[in-house]
Structure 1
Amino acid sequence: MTIFCIVISRESSYRASGDKLEKMAKRRITQETFDAVVRENMEEFEMGPDEALKEAVEQFESQGVDLGYIVKAVAAVSSDDKQEEQSHKVLQALDSLRIGKDSASVEEVTADMKCFTEHCSLEFAQRYLAAQKDAYPVILSYCKKSAEEREAVTALSALAALTDGQPDLLDAEGQQLLLNVLKKYAADSSVLRVAIRAVRHCCLKHEQNRQDLVKGGVLPLLTGAAAQHGGCAELVKEASAALRIMTFDDDIRVPFGQAHEHAKMIVLQHNGLKVLIESAKAHLGNTSVLRELCATLSHLAVRNEFCQDICELGGLKLIMTLLAENYETPDLVRQVLSAIRAIAGNDDVKDAVVNAGGVELIVIAMNRHMSNSAVCEQGCACLSVLALRKPNNCKVIMENGGALAALQAMKTHTDKVNVQKQACMLLRNLVSNTSNLSQPILDMGAEALITQALQTHEDCGDVGKAALRDLGCHVELRELWTGKKGSLTY
């Protein structure tokens, strides 16, 4: 059997891994090349469609080719054998939309638009292929037309699906369209929901789009939508997620983003904290909405006074209630713990959390979901923040079994570096100002677990050694530079 290796490009991409960026070289092929190999397997080797597809995938993967951008399906062949054209369903729908772009109304192409959206929503490769065939200007033209015809949901859904994972597609014209739709359809929750989803997709990992849309006034439109349609769960989720993404610093192409400034604007200029907390109160029975709102509150608690504001607006009481009433739901527990961790950066809030019985609730949640590494990580992080510079809080944490829960988490998740790091930080904070707690923690077996974490995870080096040092254990600290035997040259 012929082995194909028709590689057309080798490009560099970057992947975030912790605090490092790993550069990886990937070989790529075109969709046409892949489809040709599948067809040749069928025609030359008389394979069935499924076998031909599987064989092509295995061939290219064995050669280190990245197939993440390839639609792994058998393309349909044109009825005209002379042309021998092949086309995937997403492209067939796109071709139909392109034919009617200048003459057909959005209503007339609804079926094709829904088909296009459906296939773009299946996987990234489908929408990538569509984008390579210039789908964006076609869909944008329908979006502009639909905004005038008041039939905006269908076209905007296609735009949202197409831009998912492809924020670079959005241009200035598209930005203005989204802003106009958010203003024009402020009273229509169904249109707003889809438009906000498109905004969210276009801002994830794209700092320039975020900054442009914020300058265009998207923030008051998002908070206004959440406030006006607070009873619509799906819209509140979309608006909350979009606001949170505005506070991200996730575009590796940009050295400095505006994440902190955007968070300040949401809170100070657009009353974002109150909007989110009131929205949460309106959906106490909807865990998916509450997860989103807690996650966004965590990202907005970027200043000491903001943490205090959350408490004064009833946010802390709400969060404590959520933890007490939903401790059986791990996904919500994780986000609630993340929110507590964020707002407890304020020393007064630390005391408020402890006085409200927060330590006991956190330990209960950790013990209930000890097998869930994310809950254990956030639980240890919460207790660590509550213990920092607070000797009285450290005693409460010890009395409620916080140290024991952290050590159990270390035993359960030996392979999870973040659990190990957060547990080490908690143990260190517990004894840094309360040395009398060192021996009880050592009696629980802390030294062996910390030593194991140091041996297993290089990233635990600093926090692990600091924990051992403050516990009074022997630890080798290596001086990287003493300032002697040399001089700095400029």
Structure 2
Amino acid sequence: MGPPKPGRKISQQAFDEMVKENMEDLGMDSTEALQDAIQTLTLQGVDLSGIITCTPGESNPVMECLDKLKQLNENWSDRNQAKDENAVNEIVELLVELNDMCKDKGSGNAAIATKNGGIELVISVCTKIRAGFDRGLVTGLKTIASLLHDLQSTEIFRESGGPNIVVDILCDGRQDVSILDSGFSVVAAASTGNEVIKESFMELKIDELIVQTLKEHNGGSIPNAYNAICILLTSDDNRVVASQVFGYARKFAKLGIAEVLVDSLQEGINSLSLVSASIALKAVAVNDEICRSVANHGGLDAILHCIDNSGVQCNNTVAIACCSLLSKLAGSDVNKCAIVEKKGMDRLIKLSSRFSDDPSVLQEVMSTISILCLRSPENAACAIESGAGDLAIQAMQRFPDSDQLQRISCFMIRNLVVRNPENRTLLLGNGIEALLRKAKGSHKSCKNAATDALRDLGLDNYNL
């Protein structure tokens, strides 16, 4: 008999009864009874997420908070809804408390709150206090975002009319960056892993709202607008065979999002906004036309400038994000030529020298160079002149245990030599064969890439 299938559910009542039986029938104390129930059910493959695992008689802080908030919410409906600062202050304090408990996804508190009506309750609170109570609304939106942690919670959000309510709040609060940022955090959280909610938001024209928001406000003050773009354009729902996110990216592009995001890069207010804008722009750049439009709006100059600055400031996070974006844009052959003309190879090699001890940056640099050299012998020759061959050799020597870096090195070497026989002689003379064979033998993930590189170096025994 095989192990029980994971994911079986149990009700709170059944769990509590099991603990009670342990105490009454087996004579266990409360703590022992609780631990035995948890251990037994876990071994049986029962999903205990959302179950309150307190000893009998012990209160749960999430439930206490929800009970108080529910009472205030019910009382609010009986009042004349004129401004009542005391009531709102009390609601805000409870929302802050609930948010603090649930934003730590590893605590299990979000699951408990969700299972006990937390999402519906906080949505109801937000609809009631949205007029004239901005602080409470911002806190409520943040709390909703912290409660949205899995498919079940996002479905509850959808069934509760969440997308419509949030979009209405965003439209009404377009002049308040705090409301906008917290509202877009809900858009991102709700859309994660849920294609149906992505579609709902797009039908509500969230793309137009995001673009208009970034045009009207400093994007750095609304980082969750960038996050919302990324999530809306990410195919992450395994229930769906064919995601619509490619079409959504094209809709964003037609609205001028490329130009807006390039402006964000050029402003470069802080590293967080730079990284967020770069990731968002990468998500948007899904075809050659969009990649070229980014370049036409000055995107390549902006990205290369950010790459230069990241080296000077030793900011590896910005360096990685910008190199990754440059790689995506280099998928366009027109952009490849433009990047090289703008001394892109030299600037990438300079960046690698500043981060010679950071394999994560070196990986992105070599990945970008590899794409720039793909199907372009002129660029491969330029890369060798800039020092790409030396970079590959030094990186492979310095980080022999990094399978990703070794694999990317193999890809770059292949693109440097496949159409450039003169580069083969140079790299072989500098000992690249031994490094490739070592990578091939040491890392399973490098086997095919190293074999291809050895073959394109012109070696007859490349399969050995």
Asked if these proteins are the same fold (TM beyond 0.5), I'd say yes
What is the aligned length? 441
Distance in 1 of aligned mates of 2:225 and 2:28 = 53
Deviation at 1:63, TM superposition (A): 5.5
**Residues 274-309 of structure 1: per-residue CA shift (max 9 Å, x gap):** 111112223x24011001111111122222122221
CA distance, structure 2, for counterparts of residue 68 and residue 348 of structure 1: 54
Query: What amino acid is the match of 2:157?
Result: L
- The structure 2 residue matched to 1:370, chosen from 339, 347, 356, is 356
Query: d(CA) in 2 for partners of 1:229 and 1:64?
Result: 53
Is residue 323 of structure 2 the alignment partner of residue 317 of structure 1?
A: no
Residue 98 of structure 2 corresponds to which residue in structure 1?
Answer: 116
CA–CA separation in structure 2 for the residues paired with 1:414 and 1:204 = 36
TM-aligned CA deviation for residue 153 of structure 1: 1.2
Counterpart Cα distance in 1 of 2:12 and 2:370: 50
Structure 2 counterpart of 1:113, one-letter code: L
Q: What letter matches 1:117 in structure 2?
A: N
CA distance in 1, matches of 2:120, 2:39: 35
Residues in 2 aligned to 1:27 and 1:411: alpha-carbon distance in whole angstroms: 50
Q: Any residues of structure 2 matched to 1:129-144 within 5 Å, and which?
A: 129-144=112-127
Is the Cα–Cα contact under 8 Å of residues 414 and 453 in structure 1 kept in the other structure?
yes
Is the Cα–Cα contact under 8 Å of residues 204 and 250 in structure 1 kept in the other structure? Answer: yes
Distance (whole Å) between structure 2 residues aligned to residue 456 and residue 64 of structure 1:
40
Residue 146 in 1 paired to residue 133 in 2? Answer: no
- Are 1:397 and 2:383 an aligned pair? yes
Question: Which of 427, 442, 464 lines up with 2:413 in the alignment?
Answer: 427
Provide structure 2 residue ranges, at least 5 long, that are not aligned to the other structure: 77-86
Deviation at 1:442, TM superposition (A): 1.7
Q: In the superposition, relative to structure 1, how do residues 460 and 34 fare at CA in structure 2: closer, same or farther (>3 Å)?
A: farther
Offset of 1:106 from its aligned partner? 4.3
CA spacing shift, 1:379–1:175, aligned 2, 3 Å: same
Give 1:170-185 correspondences, 5 Å limit.
170-172=157-159, 173-185=161-173
CA distance in 2, matches of 1:287, 1:273: 19
Superposed, 1:287-326 pairs within 5 Å as 287-326=271-310
Unaligned runs of 5+ in 1: 1-6, 12-25, 78-83, 479-490
Partner Cα distance (1:64, 1:375) in 2: 45
Partner of 2:57: 85
1:133-168 residue CA offsets vs partner (Å, 9 max, x unmatched): 121111111121122454421221211111144433
Cross-structure match for 1:219: 207
Instruction: Summarize deviations over 1:206-262 as a string: whole Å, max 9, x none.
Output: 1111111111111111111111112x5230x21111112111111112111012111
Matching residue of 1:168: 155
Pick from 281, 302, 311 the counterpart of residue 266 of structure 2: 281
Conserved 8 A contact 2:8-2:47: no
Other-structure match for 1:103: 75
Give the C-alpha shift of residue 323 in structure 1. Answer: 0.9
- Which residue identity is paired with 1:89? P
Matches within 5 A, 1:246-261: 246-261=232-247
TM-score normalised by length of structure 1: 0.81
Conservation of the 8 A alpha-carbon contact between 1:267 and 1:300: yes
Identity over the aligned pairs, expressed in percent?
22
Preserved CA contact (<8 Å) 1:31 1:129: no
- Aligned position for 2:374: 388
Change (3 A) 1:58 1:373: farther
SS of corresponding position for 1:419: helix
Structure with the higher fraction of residues in helix conformation: 2
Indicate the larger mover: 352-361 or 97-106: 97-106
Aligned to 1:257, the other structure's residue is in SS state coil
Shift of 1:272: 0.3
- Higher RCO (CA < 8 A, seq sep 6+): 2
Letter of the 1:98 counterpart:
K
Aligned counterpart in structure 1 of residue 182 of structure 2, from 194, 212, 219: 194
Task: Tell whether the 8 Å contact from 1:370 to 1:412 is kept in structure 2 after alignment.
Answer: no
Aligned residue identity for 2:68: S
- Taking structure 2 as the reference length, the TM-score comes to 0.85
Which amino acid in structure 1 is aligned with residue 193 of structure 2?
A: K
Q: SS of 2:410's equivalent?
A: helix
Give the superposition deviation at 1:175.
1.0
Are residues 413 and 114 of structure 1, via their aligned partners in 2, closer, same or farther at CA, if it must alter by over 3 Å?
same
RMSD between aligned alpha carbons? 3.4
Q: Report the AA paired with residue 413 of structure 2.
A: L
Q: Does 1:347 align with 2:330?
A: no
Higher strand share: 1
- 8 Å CA contact 2:66–2:118 kept in 1: the answer is yes
**Quick one: distance in 1 between partners of 2:144 and 2:419?**
55
1:29-65 per-position Cα deviation (integer Å, ceiling 9, x unaligned)? 888959998xx99xx9999x9xx99x88996899697
State the partner residue of 1:206: 194
